[in-house]
A and B are shown apart, each in its own frame.
Chain A
Amino acid sequence: MTACLEILGLDAAIRRGPRLLRNVSLSVAPGEVRALVGESGAGKSMIGKAVLGVLPRGIEVTSGDILLEGQNLGALSPGLRRRTVGAAAALIPQDPLTALNPSRRIGPQITDKLVHLLGWIRARADARARELLDEVRIRAPERVMASYPHELSGGMRQRVLIAAAFASEPRLIVADEPTTALDVTVQKQILRLIAELQARHNTAVLFVTHDLGVVAKVSQSVSVLFAGKVVEAGPTEALFRAPAHPYTRALMAATPRYTDPFASLQPVPEAVLAGLRAEVAAEDAAREARNG
């Protein structure tokens, strides 16, 4: 079975500047949820952006391949790549407050892609939008579709964005910290919704988060990232049972537990960090050697 998403030896860097992704490899099978964890700045979002082709200006992929449904994206022309990614993938963004165009109604923001990119007729796209809004448990789909973003709460907007992401039946969804901007009670509902729709539609998900509690809940596999390098990866259950890398163990120790919220919360020990820096330096040296 070919992977839905396959990343092979991906390197990204600021133009004429430091490396941001270091030889990243990972794959997501159809219907699988792979979590990407790591501290802030580790490069989690960068991986998602590289896949979706929306890296910030000045940051470029310097080597490695991204295969979406077996197709090597790097081999496509920019226009074709854009349409291919648009048709096969979607994004659930971090901040629902800024991810909807404030001057356009909700409905078209969901159906745009169906109509303009996939060539659906308007009526079918509208029906599809209503269907998905129903799936994310929005009670009055018609009213919401006629609303402007500022008329909806943050939780409602994130539901809308989830509906929009799933509307085109993408094979892959990149969810970049989809609950970080929401308050705790809403977070759980949104997580449950994503898991539910993902299972129903059998969608592969690259789930970016820094919260190991979330990882345990939603994912089947994990990649742990430090300074743009995957330091450990594997099935979620196995990784939680027996974390191999000291950094993973440190992250787990730093995750608050509901049973004992004050006991844990320790920073990553200095010895572990020193080890990580050495690993990163070794990887950089290896690249130097490869490139001559």
Chain B
Amino acid sequence: MLLKTLLARLASMVITLFGVAVVVFVIIRVAPGDPIAMMLPPGASDADVERLRALYGLDRSMPEQFLIWLGGVLQGDFGTSISLRQPVAGLVLGRLPATLELSALALVIALVLGGFLAIFGARHRATPLEAGVDLTNGAALSVPDFLWGLVLILLFGVLWPVLEISGRVSPRLDLPFATQFYLVESILRLRFDLTADLLSHMIMPALALALPLAAIIAQLLKQSLKEVLNLDYVTLARVRGYSELRVILREGLRNAALPTLTLVGVQFTFLIGGTVIVERLFSYEGLGNMAIDAVINRDLPLIQGIVLLFAVIFILVNLAVDLTYSLLNPRLRHG
């Protein structure tokens, strides 16, 4: 039963990825801009152009190009970046950890902040404090992530410069890392000086990404907490003598979290999409930043690789949400 569901998920995943690959492949080739023209110095001869086109397979028809690319992908070869002249797979996977760490940090901030606001608002429902929470939510929601980025830079980079506004880690530091998961590794190696340096770079972009999501979580979770808190089993818990906060945490939170969770999944994929601009804003060397360079340079294989990787991430996020959902819901667990 479980195996069947899993296989079905896998099949739909492959189909989705194929669809994404086709669409992106076509769009970036139909869009104006010629990668070869951008590589060559002005005044290069037509013959040079043609030679390069042939080298990257751009002289063939689109279906032919797609089949060649697909054949490579199936063997783990995602082509060669036109602008960086390195294998796409290595480039993309090298940048992935930076973006994953940033997104994960943003998600944690959003969950903690949103969860706290929701619980606080539900605890003080129908008082001015709840109105305060609603006001905060409204403000956080009405400003998009990159604007939050600018506001944060102004606050903590310029007016009160306590945080780093650019890059992922201070260049003067020696990095003893074996992987690109700097934050995780610095913690595992107990090099908390490095952790602190990394965080001082990551906090602002992560916060910028997190604020809108935190507001959504706070709003939705507070609403469903308020609904759950009127249910009979919650009254029964109150009669037992629990404090209101304990009632919310023990009886309310888990059941209220279910409807919020699905939406968090969808919104988290938006957050990951947001890394493209926010990473650029903070010169954070992640996948999103690389994507912008790739688009500027019309680096077709690189764009294709990055988009595909984003698609894989989105699918995995949705899968993770479904799994957590069924884990939290005993009705599904015992099917």
Contacts and interface: CB of A to CB of B under 8 A. Distances in A.
Contacts of B125: 57
B242 A99 contact: no
A266 B141 CA distance: 59
A113 B239 CA distance: 10
A86 B239 contact: yes
A98 B331 contact: no
A83 B231 contact: no
B241 A57 contact: no
Given A57-B126, A95-B232, A148-B330, A102 B239 contact: no
Given A102-B331, A103-B329, A150-B331, A91 B233 contact: no
Contacts of B231: 98
Contacts of A161: 236
B239 A85 contact: yes
Nearest to A96: B232
A126 B125 CA distance: 35
Nearest to A82: B241
A98 B232 contact: yes
For chain B, what secondary structure do more than half of its interface residues adopt (helix, strand, loop), or is it mixed? helix
Given A101-B251, A103-B255, A91 B239 contact: yes
B239 A54 contact: yes
A79 interface: yes
Given A101-B255, A102-B330, A86 B235 contact: no
B232 A86 contact: no
Interface string A38-55: 000000000000001110
Contacts of A100: 233
B238 interface: yes
Interface in B211-250: 231-233, 235-243, 250
B21 interface: no
B317 interface: no
A270 interface: no
A86 B247 CA distance: 13
B237 to A, nearest CB: 8
Interface string A88-115: 0111011100111111100001001100
Given A93-B232, A98-B231, A100-B233, A85 B255 contact: no
Contacts of B4: none
B134 to A, nearest CB: 17
Interface in A116-174: 116-117, 148, 150-151, 161
A79 B242 CA distance: 9
Contacts of B239: 52-54, 85-86, 89-91
A150 B330 contact: yes
Indicate the size class of the contact surface on chain B.
20 to 34
Interface residues of A, number: 32
Contacts of B255: 101-103
Nearest to B254: A103
Contacts of B254: 103-104
B328 interface: yes
A45 to B, nearest CB: 11
Interface in A182-238: none
A177 to B, nearest CB: 12
A87 B242 CA distance: 11
Contact of A91 (B236, B242, B250, B330): B236
Interface string B81-120: 0000000000000000000000000000000000000000
A79 B235 contact: no
Nearest to A114: B240
Contacts of A99: 232-233, 236
A31 B243 CA distance: 29
Interface string B250-287: 11001100000000000000000000000000000000
30 contacts: A52-B238, A52-B239, A54-B235, A54-B239, A82-B241, A85-B239, A87-B241, A89-B239, A90-B239, A91-B235, A91-B236, A93-B235, A93-B236, A100-B233, A101-B237, A101-B251, A102-B255, A102-B330, A103-B254, A103-B255, A104-B251, A109-B233, A112-B237, A112-B250, A113-B240, A113-B241, A116-B242, A117-B241, A148-B330, A150-B330
Given A53-B238, A98-B231, 11 more contacts: A52-B238, A57-B126, A85-B239, A85-B241, A86-B240, A99-B233, A103-B330, A104-B251, A113-B240, A117-B240, A117-B241
Interface of A: 52-54, 57, 79, 82-83, 85-87, 89-91, 93-95, 98-104, 109, 112-113, 116-117, 148, 150-151, 161
